[in-house]
Structure 1
Amino acid sequence: MRVRGSMRALVSDARAAFAVPAVWLGLFGSVLIVVGSFTPASLPPDSELPYFIGLGLLQTGVGRAVAAAAVLLGMASLLLAWVAMRPGRHGVRGGVPRATWWLWSLPMLVAPPLFSRDAYSYAAQGLLVSRGMDPYSTGPISVPGPFADQVDPMWLFTSAPYGPLALRTQQLVVELSFDNAYFAAVAMRVPAFMSMALIAALLPRMTERVGVSVEPARWIGIANPLILIHLVGGAHNDAMAIALIVAAMLLAFDGRFWFSSFTIAAAAGYKQTALLAMVALAGYLARRAVVARRIREISDGTPSCEERAAIEANRHEPTGPVRGAPHDPGTPGMVEYIRVAAAVGTASIGLFALITFVCGLGWGWVESLSVPLMARSILSPSTVVGSIGQIIMLGLGSSAETAQIPLDTARACGMAIMAIGLIWTTLWLAPRRPTLSVVTAFVIFVACGSVVHAWYMIPVFVLLGLVPFSERTYTVAMWVIAVLGVYAAFDSALGNGSITIAVTLVAALVLRMRARGVLPLPANLRARLAGQHRHAHIEQSQKVG
């Protein structure tokens, strides 16, 4: 009966979604992205799959240009559809349909790994574990054949930097895929899709707990195209980690200390950076302890329903500016908060150690954390600044060793700023604004990290809707998401050798979005351009006169 009821609910949600034109536009965009992905840029070398499904033309030079155009236009359609459903000024009546995320995701389930080849590495690492090898001491090159052939050459000789649960999950997927290399990589989407379903189920419940509207959270944290193309399309480990972070926050808000600690430890088993969310757990649990103490302190020990409700309301963090805000009765004292935070940290790390022991893969990932640094990330501010300094030093005739100093220095400065920011977030912000603190922690991690990929920013967007930000903040986030989406499509076009068509279509996308008013220019820039236009018009009139 439950299964039948769930199916009816899914059908009902799908019908409601299809009544919204923007959902059709996004679905069209998703299909275009999938069709455009069947090129050598996304497929294993010498793959015959496109010829079996009638897309052999996309393997030619002209076909790859067409595929690049399809991906860019598909991304544009997804972004336009998503922006059109923005709650508030640009929102559709009734909010974002609940089925939007899975309707847009379904076509991606059959595509090659999208916008990243990490899923191929996951498959090779899963095979390593399945064969009893240590993925923390050897790379995909140790399993020559189809699994190694489809891995990005940069990562062939590198060990795995992922947590033990991620590797055991990859092993399970490989074994259930009957050792088929390509199918194993595509099947990495199964846990990713399940994770998205968990996020879609838990995030609305979390909005009820923290007292914010569900619509912004559903728009930016679930139906977000950037989240779908990277978590479902790219099948990244981050999907399960983020889903477990949301679950841990929900459990902590409800006062379940051990369950929340275990859940965040499990999240770290997929992506170690999930431990950043401990700040929210500590804040929620400390605020709950304050509420419990105030209830006990009532003189007769039996507060009325009204008194209990008034005290329980202090569990909700206040809104508005953090600095200069009036005293919040729910904010714990520093000693009390540090005690709770220490307990959360000890329990979570201890349970993570237990999970690591049970998985039987050891702690080799610690030494592998430097593996991602092999890639030069143009999304990392510190790496960009350091690389510019390195180029200048090389241009001045410095040796390679000397020219490396600016890069190392910039990255070290970024890490130092990150450490200071995380300490401030943990000790000052978390007891006052637990939900805001976890968003801030991930923003600091991304802004100061030496390596940044677009999917590293996804925890920020998933959790952003849990904080009552201003319209301006959501507009900035929308711009960032649009830029990162276009960047992913542009990078895909480069992989197909279609730089000209990429530039042309990106320009067309920007103009189209400007014409529809869904990506407005900042007011100061708009005024400046209007002033320049009036000045040019006056000069032209004077010449004619």
Structure 2
Amino acid sequence: MATTTDPAPDAPSLGQDPGTPAEASPAVDGVRGGSPFPYRTIAMGTIGSLLLLLGALGAAGILIRDPVIGAGPLSWLRYGHGRMLANAVLYGGFALVVWAWVRLGRYMLAGRIGSKPILVAAACWMGPLIISPPLFTRDVFSYLGQGAQLLHGLNPYAHGPAELTILPNVVQNVHPVWQTTPAPYGPLFLLVAKGIVAVTGDNVIAGVIVTRLVLLVGLGAMVWALPRLVRHLGGKVPIAMWLAVASPMTVIHLVGGPHNDLLMIGALTVGVLAALERKHVLAVALVTVGMLIKPTAAIALPFLVWVWVNHLPGDNRMRNLVKAGAASLGIFAVVFVAGTWVSLGSVNLGWVTGLKAPQLVTNWLNPSTGIGQIVYTVVHLVVNVPESPFVTVARLFSWLALAVFFVRQWWKARFGGNEAIFRMAMTLLATAILAPPTLPWYLTWGFVVAAAFPWRRRHLAIVVAVAIFLVMAYYPTGEQALYDWWFVAVTIAFGLYAAASLLRPDPLGLVGAWQRQRAGSAAASTGTVAEGGQVPAR
């Protein structure tokens, strides 16, 4: 496979920060110079994942009428102290998964492990979550409800699942906000959801499990494409796998959720790879398929045009732009029309209006929404006014900022190659942040592609903190936790500690202090104290 030019100049690069001494290569799982396979770390994360599964039975996206626990002897897990215990088990499991992920990252940065242990770890951590109740979201119930609508001849882009009079278990578990809201997803994904409901019927538990299994197709595509993307974009395969596959954002949000973003990301990453390998027709077709799953994938298409332009012969860039642009539009139109027709039985563009539905979500994770709410709070101290005008105006400015950012990044991408892909990834990230709403898993759109570029150590540490915050921004039930300020403070502290732990084991010296205290107690009990009153080192 041919390798392209140097990475985008603005891309982060892996390496030690100036003035930071080299970290000594740590032992893998406690054995210096021992086994290169981190068995104990993988086992730790697997135990954490099993605890997530157990805690989810009482504290996550449980069913209204659950045939597993229901009113049986374990129903106490969903009330009072039982619910508190389930939450404690779930968050304890999450902490173990994070701890294992950070340890894996330290071994990776020290050059002690390659990509294989990281993929094995990710598979072990995802395994128990395949059969788990939905974690930190209830979106999968909406997927099933909208698929049921399409299966039974109802238009999911005109009404919400509440209009469905059959399959009561599927319908009643859809979140109240989305009961009467049209689907915001592409028609191809609704076709997938229709097929799932056709197989599982009113069995919601089976529907959730089969949905996860189908979405693993996107994960497989991403895992296949990433090493090849790394060869073009200049990163390192273990780092890309650690960031994009083993991260809690993928393990817990995309798989444990689950979220259909995983299927879209699979099409996107393979499409980007095809563009870099000069298979432009396939690239545009694949990204259009991604758009028919999750419409935001369309943002990548204008950047892929520049990649195509720079692969065409000749020095007349305007002529090449017209050629590549016209060809891309033609391919897009064919795939878009065919995909919509196959999915809906007609070229029904009603699904485009459904894109407004997610804007019902308001929280300060979206900066414009947060600014609007702050201004409203200040004004409300003086005048009794509604909140919505302030949020609406702030969001309008955010849309304008995003439009300017998009145009600027697209123009900077005009020389194609790695630069265009880097600008594309940044624009996808900006869209997730600036376009309301901002939901935690949205940041994976551009981040997975960005994982194939070089990274600096300190930037990886920032990713750790952000990933932890984004998982915990919602409660396990799927309700947002962003206005529980004590919880937010604890989440930030936990994230900062985990980030520091990536670069330096035990950054606060907690384990060292405990070991010294233990050694001192042991020495005192035997009456053995070194000269000068110091406990001898062990």
Q: TM-score, normalised by structure 2?
A: 0.78
What is the CA-CA distance between 1:399 and the residue it aligns to? 3.7
**Structure 1: runs of 5+ lacking an equivalent:** 1-15, 295-331, 524-545
Residue 39 of structure 1 contacts residue 67 of structure 1 at CA under 8 Å; is this kept in 2? yes
Task: For 2:404, give the aligned amino acid.
Answer: I
The answer to whether residue 238 in structure 2 is matched with residue 254 in structure 1 is no
Structure 1 Cα separation of the partners of residues 200 and 57 of structure 2? 21
What is the CA-CA distance between 1:390 and the residue it aligns to? 2.4
After superposition, residues 122-521 of structure 1 pair within 5 angstroms as 122-144=143-165, 145-289=168-312, 292-293=313-314, 333=317, 336-337=320-321, 339-341=323-325, 343-359=327-343, 360=345, 362-400=348-386, 403-429=387-413, 431-432=415-416, 433-488=419-474, 490=475, 492=477, 506=491, 509=494, 513=498, 517-518=501-502
Structure 1 pair 229/270, CA: closer, same or farther in 2 (3 Å)? same
**Higher normalized helix content (fraction of residues):** 1
After superposition, residues 102-121 of structure 1 pair within 5 angstroms as 102-121=123-142
Residue 249 of structure 1 contacts residue 260 of structure 1 at CA under 8 Å; is this kept in 2? yes
Structure 1 pair 286/503, CA: closer, same or farther in 2 (3 Å)? closer
Structure 2 Cα separation of the partners of residues 465 and 223 of structure 1? 12
What is the CA-CA distance between 1:104 and the residue it aligns to? 1.0
Structure 1 pair 244/500, CA: closer, same or farther in 2 (3 Å)? closer
2:112 corresponding residue in structure 1: 93
Provide the secondary structure at the position in 1 that maps to 2:181: coil
What is the CA-CA distance between 1:381 and the residue it aligns to? 0.3
Structure 1 pair 134/90, CA: closer, same or farther in 2 (3 Å)? same
Structure 1 pair 283/55, CA: closer, same or farther in 2 (3 Å)? farther
Task: For 2:179, give the aligned amino acid.
Answer: L
The answer to whether residue 47 in structure 2 is matched with residue 28 in structure 1 is yes
> 1:12-58 CA distances to partner (integer Å, 9 max, x unpaired)?
xxxx9974322111111111111111126411113241269974341
Task: For 2:250, give the aligned amino acid.
Answer: I
1:82 to 101, 112, 125: 101
Structure 2 Cα separation of the partners of residues 506 and 470 of structure 1? 24
Residue 157 of structure 2 contacts residue 182 of structure 2 at CA under 8 Å; is this kept in 1? yes
Residue 366 of structure 2 contacts residue 436 of structure 2 at CA under 8 Å; is this kept in 1? yes
Structure 2 Cα separation of the partners of residues 508 and 448 of structure 1? 25
Task: For 2:220, give the aligned amino acid.
Answer: A
Residue 184 of structure 2 contacts residue 355 of structure 2 at CA under 8 Å; is this kept in 1? yes
Structure 1 pair 345/30, CA: closer, same or farther in 2 (3 Å)? farther
What is the CA-CA distance between 1:174 and the residue it aligns to? 0.4
Residue 157 of structure 2 contacts residue 354 of structure 2 at CA under 8 Å; is this kept in 1? yes
Residue 465 of structure 2 contacts residue 496 of structure 2 at CA under 8 Å; is this kept in 1? no
2:529 corresponding residue in structure 1: none
Structure 1 pair 492/357, CA: closer, same or farther in 2 (3 Å)? closer
What is the CA-CA distance between 1:60 and the residue it aligns to? 2.7
Structure 1 pair 340/471, CA: closer, same or farther in 2 (3 Å)? farther
Structure 1 Cα separation of the partners of residues 106 and 460 of structure 2? 10
Q: Name the % identity.
A: 24
Structure 1 Cα separation of the partners of residues 36 and 109 of structure 2? 17
> 1:145-204 CA distances to partner (integer Å, 9 max, x unpaired)?
211111111111111111000100000000111332332233211111221122112211
2:82 corresponding residue in structure 1: 63
1:533 corresponding residue in structure 2: none
Structure 1 pair 18/31, CA: closer, same or farther in 2 (3 Å)? farther
> 1:74-131 CA distances to partner (integer Å, 9 max, x unpaired)?
1111111112222678546123412222211110011111111010111111111110
Structure 1 Cα separation of the partners of residues 36 and 349 of structure 2? 46
What is the CA-CA distance between 1:478 and the residue it aligns to? 2.2
Structure 1 Cα separation of the partners of residues 230 and 150 of structure 2? 39
RMSD over aligned CA atoms reads 3.2
